[in-house]
Amino acid sequence: MATIAFIGLGNMGGPMATNLLKAGHKVTVFDLVPAAVAELVAQGASTADTALAAVKDVDFVISMLPAGRHVESVYLGDNGLLGAVKKTTIIMDSSTIDAATARKVGAAAKDKGIGFMDTPVSGGVAAAAAGTLAFMCGGDSATFEKGKTILQAMGKNIFHAGDNGAGQVAKICNNMLLSVLMIGTSEALRLGVDNGLDASKLSEIMLASSGRNWSLEVYNPYPGVMEKSPASNDYKPGFMVDLMCKDLGLAMETAIQSASATPMGALARNLYTAHQSKGNGQLDFSSILQSLGK
């Protein structure tokens, strides 16, 4: 059993912390939303009045925060957590942020002799609840081996992508590809239905053919085809359009920095941003099908 501080109990962080409790770890939680904290306390977690108090004497710190500026502020700002943890603490930031910030925090941690990894996740809220997330880790090998033992309570696929920042790059590459596949799948289904095909039958055909992909297998974007998919539940997320737009923005910023050609990614970002601007930001990202017409 390990002692763990969990900072950030949103749609993803809350279920992740729950799975740590189920695995028998001693978890202290902190969030700015009292109701989120109360829910974890009811499940057996301890709480602290501040993030600084939460990380005192713990073996691991896990954070799930909205953006790079929040991560930088929490770890490097005035009264930052890097100045409060013990030297043997392993820090894992599961936020999806820019790789530069992950590298900056990682370098500051290294200067203090503290192990740090960026550990963004893939799988969405359902996988967070089920404990089947994929973790994409950026950090040194020793930190990865120690952190992996804790991540296994929250995920089934734990990857070591490279040094600090590599986890973030892997995450944005994955989600850029996911956006392209979801748009392409939605287009194909819409085209088939517009020409008289049944969406379920067409999905069955494409699943057995060369168009097979994750969206068709487990996340069909056409309503009524897959009972438990967001599409069949009024596009309740899931993974929100707002978050896909955020990730695609990070992907395009990274592409500019490395002078990488990402024409499909750029188009996907434009399409998702247009969908978002029409008031669809809180819908699941598979709702992009709705932007394709009737």
Q: What is the pLDDT of residue 220?
A: 98
Query: What is the C-alpha to C-alpha distance for residues 51 and 97, in angstroms, rounded to an integer?
Result: 20
Q: What is the pLDDT of residue 165?
A: 97
Query: What is the C-alpha to C-alpha distance for residues 235 and 244, in angstroms, rounded to an integer?
Result: 14
Cβ-based neighbour number of residue 107 at 10 Å: 12
Confidence of residue 79 (pLDDT cuts 50, 70, 90): confident
Rounded average pLDDT over 31-58: 96
Q: What is the pLDDT of residue 238?
A: 86
DSSP state of 277: I
Q: What is the pLDDT of residue 124?
A: 86
Closest CA to 206 of 229, 181, 228: 181
The structure's pTM equals 0.93
Bond before 44 cis per omega within 30 degrees: no
Q: What is the pLDDT of residue 78?
A: 79
Residue of 56, 171, 201, 246 marked active site? 171
Tell me the per-residue pLDDT of 8-19, one tens digit each, with 9 for 90 and over. 999 999 999 999
Domains of the chain: 3-163 (3.40.50.720), 169-292 (1.10.1040.10)
Distances (CA, A) of 254 to 38, 161, 281: 38, 16, 23
Tell me the per-residue pLDDT of 235-257, one tens digit each, with 9 for 90 and over. 999 899 999 999 999 999 999 99
Q: Which tokens is 203 given? A: 């999905």
Q: What is the pLDDT of residue 202?
A: 98
Cβ-based neighbour number of residue 43 at 10 Å: 14
- Dihedrals φ, ψ of 277, to 5°? -65, -15
Q: What is the pLDDT of residue 97?
A: 96
Q: What is the pLDDT of residue 81?
A: 97
Q: Which tokens is 121 given? A: 């996740």
Cβ-based neighbour number of residue 37 at 10 Å: 18
Q: What is the pLDDT of residue 147?
A: 97
CB 172 within 8 A of CB 243: no
Q: What is the pLDDT of residue 77?
A: 78
Q: What is the pLDDT of residue 42?
A: 97
Q: Considering only residues 203 and 126, tell me which one the structure prediction assigns the higher pLDDT.
A: 203
Closest CA to 105 of 120, 119, 93, 88: 93
Q: Which tokens is 73 given? A: 């502020």
Q: What is the pLDDT of residue 293?
A: 80
**Strand pairing class (121-122; 60-63):** unpaired
CA 143, chain centre distance (Å): 20
Q: What is the pLDDT of residue 12?
A: 95
Per-residue pLDDT at 294 exceeds 80? no
CB 137 within 8 A of CB 99: no
Q: Which tokens is 101 given? A: 């910030």
Tell me the per-residue pLDDT of 83-128, one tens digit each, with 9 for 90 and over. 999 999 999 999 999 999 999 999 999 999 999 999 999 988 889 9
| Mean pLDDT score of the chain | 96
Confidence of residue 274 (pLDDT cuts 50, 70, 90): very high
Q: How many residues are recorded in the chain?
A: 294
Query: What is the C-alpha to C-alpha distance for residues 229 and 221, in angstroms, rounded to an integer?
Result: 8
User: Residue 148 catalytic?
Assistant: no
Q: What is the pLDDT of residue 90?
A: 98
Per-residue pLDDT at 59 exceeds 80? yes
Tokens 């992508």 map to which residue? 161
Q: What is the pLDDT of residue 126?
A: 87
CB 228 within 8 A of CB 238: no
